[in-house]
Amino acid sequence: MESIPALFDYARQKLRDYDNVEVVYGDGSLGLPEKAPFDGIIVTAGAPGVPKALLNQLKNGGRLVIPVGQQYSQDLLLVTKNNGKTTTEKLLPVAFVPLIGRQGFKP
């Protein structure tokens, strides 16, 4: 999922020969509710917190890996959903580009 038009076009072009990859244009902080629920979600941009939209899209037993913290310094978290409740495990300190969007950092 990509929210920057030029990067979306670039990714779509580079991945065009793969039939098991879908490149989606949109706000990654909101996920993809029309395709949910998911067994796993991986976020590759740092968020100020865990977006509720992504938690809502996890299946029971699903896992979310996401960097959470400041714009350029985060902790990589593993969030697991079981019976409607989540547990969070801090994996390691990381530095990702910021997640821009409604439930991410503001542009």
Please give the tally of structural domains in the chain.
1
Q: Is residue 73 part of a domain?
A: yes
Q: What is the pLDDT of residues 8-18, one digit of tens each?
A: 999 999 999 99
Which pLDDT score is estimated for 77? 98
Q: What is the pLDDT of residues 55-99, one digit of tens each?
A: 999 999 999 999 999 998 999 999 999 998 999 999 999 999 999
Which amino acid belongs to residue 33?
Answer: P
Q: Is residue 80 part of a domain?
A: yes
Question: For the domain that residue 15 is a member of, what is the CATH number?
Answer: 3.40.50.150
Q: Nearest CA to 55 among 69, 67, 66?
A: 66
* Separation between Cα atoms, residue 57 and residue 42, nearest integer Å: 12
Q: Residue 44: pLDDT above 90?
A: yes
Q: Is residue 25 part of a domain?
A: yes
Q: Is residue 18 part of a domain?
A: yes
Which pLDDT score is estimated for 107? 83
Expressed as residue numbers, the domain containing 12 is 5-94
Q: Residue 43: pLDDT above 90?
A: yes
